[in-house]
Amino acid sequence: MNSASDPATNANMINWHEDIRKQFPALSQRLENTKLCYLDTAATSQKPQIVIDAMQHFYQQDNANVHRAAHTLSARATTQYEAVRHKVRQFIKAARFDEIIFTHGTTESINMVAYGLSACLATGDIILIDTAAHHANIVPWQELAKRTGAVIKPIPLDEHCHIDMAAYNELLALKPKVVALCHVSNALGTLNPVKDLVTKAKQQGALTLVDGAQAIAHMTVDVSDLDCDFYVFSGHKMYGPTGVGILYGRFEALDRLLPMMTGGEMIKTVSFDATQFGDLPNRLEAGTPPIAEVIGLGAAIDFIEGLPRERVQIHEQQLLQYLQQQLLQLGDISLYGVQTDNNTNVGAVAFNLANEHHQDVGILLDQQGVAVRCGHHCAMPLMHSLSLQGCCRASIGVYTHQGDIDQFIAALKEVKALLL
């Protein structure tokens, strides 16, 4: 975003980026004769044509249930479905294909782990939760604590909204049974040093779960290197469909989970005297799965892996820094979780305009074609720690370009002139 950079390099960047952007049909629309400026990717990403086509092809040509018939359509559907399991394994560098469980999203994935550990915790056992966690990484653990008598302890944040390492070390000395972390905060975009956090937790014997919903589209994730017990994410935040997610579990940890759902597909034998559950991954995938969505997720992985990923990550980081700089230059803006001298944010910037209500700001931006997210971002404990009722969040994706940021800043100037 440096205006003094080489013009030829800028031209190459524009051509490369426009080729990617053209693959997202939703971005070409206009809202009331205004070009759409989509800065809400952290809530859900737009979908490239390859994903739309893959799901349409399944419904038009291969629509059948998986694993349950000898006919051709079912065989084709099963082959495609299971191929995505192997694709996900390679994408996140898991050791085994049966460590990949298909779910309906991050929320279900975390619920499956929290329910599945019901027999592993007892009264007084400690569960540590990142204060910046999404509600989906808080409430399931609270329900587990109700069932078992375990105790929830939040991990405090420092003045930059990152985990307070001194406080974390003190909490780990209590020998927690579970540590639940977010890789990247959905509300603030702050990046946690999860590998170090996981290592420290495992040294104390804790099981570790990392919510990767906000990280998976922006970073290369290697679960074997992170060495976490569980890693979870959703398809719809990585350019895939809604209604599909992944629960990765280290096999020994995954194998300990009680099934949250029982019924078809997850059994080995059933009689009225007893039922024997099947092996992983089937044991944790009861019922008809989201077949078309899984196939769409596979296409989204193909899309991501077809990108020049290092180049994309550099572009996104430069774009996020440009966004932060432009907001600060606008004046009367409060940023949250941003360290301008040591930028560790990923994908999103949280802000408020003076003392104006975030919802008013969001509505006025929408009238100028700019889509941002406003509210508590399913992170009410985090908002409480910041003494906020809520905030605005602008978030970027692979298709976001500098023109989007400029359109957003121009619109926000209009909002500021109107409200202040």
Among the residues of 331-401, which ranges form H helices? 358-366, 380-385
In three-state secondary structure terms, 211 is strand
Query: Facing residues of 394 across strands?
Result: 349
Query: Facing residues of 107 across strands?
Result: none
Q: Which two tokens stand for residue 183?
A: 């890789």
Among the residues of 222-270, which ranges form H helices? 223-226, 251-254
- CA dist 148 and 258 (Å) reads 14
Backbone conformation region of residue 54, classed left if phi is above 0, alpha if psi is from -120 to 50, else beta: alpha
Query: Facing residues of 270 across strands?
Result: 275
Kindly report the backbone phi and psi dihedral angles of residue 104, in degrees, each rounded to the nearest multiple of 5, phi listed first: -95, 0
- CA dist 316 and 401 (Å) reads 9
In three-state secondary structure terms, 187 is coil
Q: Which of 161, 228, 374, 378 is catalytic?
A: 378
Omega cis (within 30) before 281? yes
Which class for 227: exposed (0-12), middle (13-18), buried (19 or more C-beta within 10 A)? middle
Helices (H) and strands (E) in the chain, counts: 14, 17
Span between the terminal Cα atoms of the chain, in Å: 29
In three-state secondary structure terms, 89 is helix
Q: Which two tokens stand for residue 39?
A: 């800065």
Q: Which two tokens stand for residue 408?
A: 């957003």
Give catalytic status of residue 378 as yes or no.
yes
With b for 16 or more beta-carbon neighbours within 10 A and e for fewer, the 247-266 pattern comes to bbbbeebbeebebbeeeebb
In three-state secondary structure terms, 277 is strand
The residues near 140 (Cβ < 8 Å, ≥ 6 apart) are 110, 111, 113, 114, 115
Q: Which two tokens stand for residue 14?
A: 């524009």
CA atoms within 13 A on the CB side of 10: 8
Residues annotated as catalytic (active site), given as ranges: 378
